[in-house]
Amino acid sequence: MKSAADREREEDGMRHRKCRGKKRIRMTAAAMIFLLLLGGCGKQFEVDDTGGETSSDEDLIVVGVSQLGSESMWRTANTTSIEETFTRENGYLLVFDNARQKQENQIKAIRSFISQQVDYIVFSPIEESGWDVVLEEARDAGIPVIVMDRGLKVEDESLYVTRVGSDFRAEGENAGLWLEDYLEEQGRSDEEINIVVLQGTNGATSTIGRTEGFEEIAARHDNWNILEQTGADYTTTKAREEMRRIVKQYDDIDVLVSQNDDMTFGALDVFEENGITTGVDGDVIVISFDAVKSALERVQTGDINVDIECNPEQGPAVESVIRMLENGGTIERDYYVYEKIFTQENVGHYINDRSY
């Protein structure tokens, strides 16, 4: 049976309406904050703060979201952010698909969104390449595509409207810059420093950016030796497996750079198994990424030296973009979310407010 929203789309024969002047859709508080951050766009939105009715079905904006998987705590928080943003109460009908780490599943999901004639397609590309054909299909169907989290490489940039996510290269650079400062503080700037890097999923923007950013800083230091960079798919299990091999192979690891918290947990288990101490009072300096609550707790206890935040709460920013599109506003090519760096010194101020 067709939903009222389906019927509405068929009736007006339009797959994407630039402006829905008749509609009043409440904006979440979080979306308003993002608007302030995005700057200059706030005036384009109508805010219904009456707190009252939910929108009727015909008014709902249908958003198809293809999530790449559920490999990490970060990903779960990102999915929650989407689910909490695109609610009926906020004026949306969310069609959600979890691709379980397979690009072919994401392509299938996008095709299914196209055949359902959703109003917007939002997706987080598992890797950067291989999207041209399906995005051309979305364009031919007149459905705007918003890229969330990881980015992509397409021949024709107009195949997607914008990307909302993190500046992964800056995250990688921040890891390197933090290490520079830390070694200096410790009086170890001239020592030989042996580094192991656990990388995320191959071909993912977050892996590429964090790797390149860190390498750029490492290249300034002849005494920083990257012993090995190895992929562990952003998962604890794979990281454990790789680290068991690595600790056998090298007996003098000074620094572990682990491109997400889930992999860091696996690595910490293996260090512990092997009687190797980590963190502020330990032998191995540990640099992690994401900053989920359970990792911040280990920053607080000192097992992890630093956690470079990657903010998964991107639903409100994606919603802001949709609002702007609905109102015919000008869209930037990239929207970056705000991110911090946590060490034992500052983590206490933030940890209690962490919801994921």
- Contact set with ligand GYE (CB under 6 A): 71-72, 74-75, 149-150, 166, 200, 204, 206, 234, 260, 289-290, 310
Tell me if 257 sits within 8 A of 200, measured CB to CB.
no
**Closer CB to ligand GYE, 92 or 342, in the complex:** 342
> Residue 186 Cβ, how far from ligand GYE at the closest point, in Å?
27
CB of 257 to ligand GYE, least distance (A): 13
Q: How far is the CB of 289 from ligand GYE (least distance, A)?
A: 6
Residue 21: CB atoms within 10 A of its CB come to 10
Measured from the CB atom, is 46 or 334 closer to ligand GYE? 334
CA 281 to chain centre: 31
In one letter, which amino acid is 282?
A: G
CB of 156 to ligand GYE, least distance (A): 24
CB of 297 to ligand GYE, least distance (A): 17
For residue 90, what are its two tokens? 């906020």
Taking the least distance from each CB to ligand GYE, the nearer of 230 and 327 is 230
Give the CA dihedral 184, 187, 188, 191, nearest 10 degrees: 120
Residue 200 CB, nearest approach to ligand GYE (Å):
6
Q: From the CB of residue 265, how many other CB atoms can be counted at a distance below 10 Å?
A: 22
User: By C-beta, is 74 or 86 nearer to ligand GYE?
Assistant: 74
Residue 242 has which token pair? Answer: 């790789």
Residue with smaller CB distance to ligand GYE, 47 or 170:
170
Are residues 79 and 73 in contact, defined by beta-carbon separation less than 8 angstroms? no
Work out the number of other CB atoms within 10 angstroms of the CB of residue 161. 18
How far is residue 265's CA from residue 225's CA, in Å, rounded to a whole number? 23
Considering the complex, state which of residue 119 and residue 171 has its C-beta at the smaller distance from ligand GYE: 171
Q: Which two tokens stand for residue 254?
A: 């000074």
Tokens of 296: 């911040």
Amino acid at 188: R
Nearer to ligand GYE, 26 or 75 (CB): 75
CB 320 within 8 A of CB 337: no
In whole angstroms, the minimum distance from the beta carbon of 77 to ligand GYE comes to 9
